[in-house]
């Protein structure tokens, strides 16, 4: 498309790579980072119009270009040219562009106290065991039966509270490929999705994705299973955020243990599978993906055998968290905002 070129005035915003908007007689084109996306006027299927003056021009193939007048050096003129070259009956008036992220309701005061007291309750109940045994040994009948009863209550209830304390929190962001720190300057941004993408490839290949996501992206998941695309490519298509809403419950519990192990978890297995510790320079090929799937599946099988009993798994997790600080992903308000911000653009209900 050749025509009038409109530059973006906000040069300080480096969150995207938009360069120039070209409005011509035959169509609309967006040029950025050496690439170009074009929509021909004759192929326009709809034009979404927001009250702030922004436009989204969509053609019959599904290609779309978003135009925000406040970011262009001549934004009002660009919007006027777009409206003049598109049919009025194709316009769709819409309200706010993005819904604000929904914040979870704050738990009540009593519920907060109960959550804070889980660890303390586990310790107190564990102390009932020696107290009950001492009472049963030192006291005579019938107090001996009372002592053994107290010991039994502590023996059963303490592990249960320990497991409840160490359950995987929600929401969890296992990996965010859109934000990286410590990446060498020569590494392309597409390589940011390699570590989390290979992990997502294992989940998709072994059918550990949430059913809603599998139903929303059946072609993409089928392409990965058929070795047509790799996990990092699927990761980019799904928005680049690997969170717990993308996986089933078993995979989330596995990741809660697998990704919290600093030297013995995914980092070690990824280096062993690809034979390199430069995770952002791994070849994005199906050979790399198959190697990662193999080592992660082995770790998953070991985790299943070792964690056959939920109580034992919770006790091991409590022991590991007690030895050192949590080194895994984050689960807080920031994590929820990241998930909601990425999902509302990618989710297909």
Please list the helix, strand and coil fractions of the chain in percent, rounded to the nearest 5, in that order.
Answer: 55, 15, 30
Picking from 250, 245, 266, the residue whose alpha carbon sits closest to that of residue 198 is 266
> Dihedral of CA 264/269/275/279: which sign?
negative
Question: Could you give the dihedral angle defined by the CA atoms of residues 91, 92, 98 and 102, in that order, rounded to the nearest 10 degrees?
Answer: 180
* Amino acid 333: pLDDT: 38
* Amino acid 151: pLDDT: 67
Q: Please name the residue that has the structure tokens 């007291």.
A: 117
Instruction: Indicate the CATH number of 3-93 among 3.40.50.2000, 2.30.29.30, 3.30.750.24, 3.40.190.10.
Output: 2.30.29.30
Give dist(CA 318, CA 228) in Å, integer: 41
Count CB atoms within 10 A of the CB of residue 166: 23
Who contacts 173 (Cβ-Cβ below 8 Å, separation ≥6)?
A: 241, 242, 243, 329, 330, 331, 335, 338, 339
Q: Provide φ and ψ at 320, rounded to 5°.
A: -70, -40
* Amino acid 296: pLDDT: 94
> Dihedral of CA 202/204/210/216: which sign?
positive
**Hey, where are the domains in the chain?**
3-93, 109-165, 173-346
DSSP assignment of 309-346 equals SHHHHHHHHHHHHHHS---S-B-SHHHHHHHHHHHHHH
DSSP assignment of 173-239 equals EEEETT--SS--TTS-GGGGGHHHHHHHHHHHHTT-B-HHHHHHSHHHHHHHHTTSS-HHHHHHHTT
Give dist(CA 344, CA 245) in Å, integer: 13
Give dist(CA 38, CA 63) in Å, integer: 8
Residue 146 structure tokens: 């009372």
Count CB atoms within 10 A of the CB of residue 120: 11
- Is-cis flag, bond preceding 142, omega within 30? yes
165: three-class secondary structure by DSSP: helix
Give dist(CA 50, CA 341) in Å, integer: 19
Give dist(CA 292, CA 286) in Å, integer: 10
Provide the residue-wise pLDDT of the chain in tens; the chain has 349 residues.
788 888 765 444 444 445 788 899 999 998 876 678 899 999 999 998 887 788 889 998 888 888 887 777 777 888 889 999 999 889 888 765 544 444 444 444 444 444 444 555 555 656 666 766 666 666 666 666 666 676 676 666 666 555 555 556 667 788 888 777 677 778 888 888 898 999 999 999 999 998 888 888 888 888 888 888 899 998 888 878 888 888 988 888 888 778 876 567 888 898 889 888 888 889 999 899 999 999 999 999 988 887 655 555 555 555 554 444 444 443 333 444 444 454 444 443 3
* Amino acid 198: pLDDT: 93
Whether pTM exceeds 0.75: no
* Amino acid 347: pLDDT: 40
């Amino acid at each position: 498309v050749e025509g009038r070129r409109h530059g973006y005035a906000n040069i300080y915003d480096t969150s995207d790579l938009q360069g120039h908007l070209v409005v011509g007689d035959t169509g609309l084109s967006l040029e950025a980072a050496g690439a170009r996306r074009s929509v021909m006027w004759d192929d326009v299927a709809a034009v979404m119009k927001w009250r702030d003056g922004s436009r989204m021009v969509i053609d019959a193939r599904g290609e779309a270009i978003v135009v925000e007048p406040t970011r262009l050096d001549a934004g009002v003129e660009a919007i006027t040219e777009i409206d003049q070259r598109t049919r009025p009956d194709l316009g769709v008036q819409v309200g706010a562009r993005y819904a604000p992220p929904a914040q979870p309701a704050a738990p009540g005061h009593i519920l907060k106290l109960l959550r804070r007291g889980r660890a303390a309750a586990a310790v107190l109940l564990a102390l009932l065991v020696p107290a009950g045994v001492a009472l049963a040994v030192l006291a005579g009948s019938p107090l001996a039966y009372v002592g053994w009863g107290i010991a039994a209550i502590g023996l059963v209830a303490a592990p249960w509270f320990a497991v409840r304390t160490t359950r995987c929190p929600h929401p969890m962001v296992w990996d965010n490929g859109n934000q990286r720190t410590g990446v060498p300057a020569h590494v392309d941004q597409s390589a940011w999705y390699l570590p989390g993408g290979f992990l997502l490839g294992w989940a998709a290949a072994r059918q550990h994705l949430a059913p809603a996501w599998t139903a929303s992206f059946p072609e993409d998941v089928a392409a990965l299973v058929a070795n047509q695309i790799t996990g990092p490519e699927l990761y980019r298509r799904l928005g680049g955020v690997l969170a717990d809403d993308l996986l089933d419950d078993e995979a989330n519990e596995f990741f809660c243990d697998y990704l919290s192990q600093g030297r013995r978890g995914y980092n070690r297995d990824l280096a062993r599978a690809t034979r390199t510790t430069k995770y952002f320079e791994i070849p994005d090929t199906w050979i790399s993906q198959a190697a990662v799937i193999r080592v992660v599946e082995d770790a998953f099988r070991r985790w299943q055998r070792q964690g056959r009993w939920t109580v034992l798994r919770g006790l091991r997790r409590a022991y590991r968290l007690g030895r050192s600080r949590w080194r895994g992903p984050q689960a807080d308000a920031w994590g929820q905002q990241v998930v909601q911000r990425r999902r509302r653009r990618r989710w297909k209900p």
